[in-house]
Amino acid sequence: MTNRLLSLLAITLISMQSIALAHFTMTYPSSRGFDALKEPLAPCGGYDTPSAERIQMPLKSSFIQIDSGHTAYTFVVYALLKNDPVNPDFIPTNLVQVAQGGRSYPEGACLPLTFSESVQPNTNVTLQVVYNGGDGLLYQCVDALLVDSAPSFDASKCVNSNGNKDATPSGDAPASTNTPSQGSSLHIAYSLTFIVAVCISFLLV
Ligand SMILES: *[C@@H]1O[C@H](CO)[C@@H](O)[C@H](O)[C@H]1NC(C)=O
Ligand SMILES: [Cu+2]
């Protein structure tokens, strides 16, 4: 009986850690890489090497689309205008803030980016999203080429799961306070993992 309780406790703790790790993903453009365990690691969630291929992003009406596991969070997006940045390059003097805000609904959110007028077309940039869902800062990066016109950049990916067109690159209306429609699929997935883990622990002991 004691053994069963101990193993149950252990598995519960491991699973709780997984639940806490249901953070956020960068869905468009794709980030350098995602690993839930490494996402708390600055500057890029454990992915320290710039991508071999850079996505073209427009200087105007640009955005990053994320999928949030947390219902409420704040975020900051920084631009690092350097060709081949290494970790020590991610310091405040090199980082230019291009977005900042918060959302009060889970899942899809479109984060509009505002680049300074002084940024020239055909500039390489690494964008760093710093996300705070309440369980520590989380990091994701994408390596891009900023251009005047980016036909390959899919503007239709900018979607807010609260159903509103708020905070999109074209119309910068203040975020609405609509009720979120549903919970996060990420969190649901981790909760299911937890339940399965508990069941398995009972079967094993
Ligand atoms: C941007 O970076 C790529 C490598 O990712 C490099 O080949 C290219 O020359 C750089 N462009 C500029 C304008 O420096
Ligand atoms: Cu989290």
pLDDT digits (tens, 9 = 90+) for 115-151: 999 999 999 999 999 999 999 999 999 999 999 999 9
Predicted local distance difference test score (pLDDT) of residue 3: 60
Residue 202 has pLDDT above 70, yes or no: no
Please give all residues whose beta carbon lies within 6 A of any atom in ligand 1, as ranges.
54, 83, 122, 124
Nearest ligand to the C-alpha of residue 146?
1
Backbone angles phi, psi at 203, to 5 degrees: -70, -35
Q: Percentage of the chain surpassing pLDDT 70?
A: 70
Give a yes or no: residue 91 inside a domain: yes
Give a yes or no: residue 159 inside a domain: yes
Predicted local distance difference test score (pLDDT) of residue 2: 59
- Which domain CATH number covers 119? 2.70.50
Q: Which of 57, 59, 83, 86 to mutate to test the pocket of ligand 1 (most atoms within 8 A of CB)?
A: 83
Give a yes or no: residue 34 inside a domain: yes
C-beta of residue 76 within 8 angstroms of C-beta of residue 97:
yes
Domain total of the chain: 1
Full residue range of the structural domain in which residue 115 is found: 24-178
pLDDT digits (tens, 9 = 90+) for 6-44: 454 454 445 555 555 579 999 999 999 999 999 999 999
Q: What is the mean pLDDT of residues 49-76?
A: 97
Give a yes or no: residue 155 inside a domain: yes
**Two tokens at 84?**
């081949």
Give a yes or no: residue 3 inside a domain: no
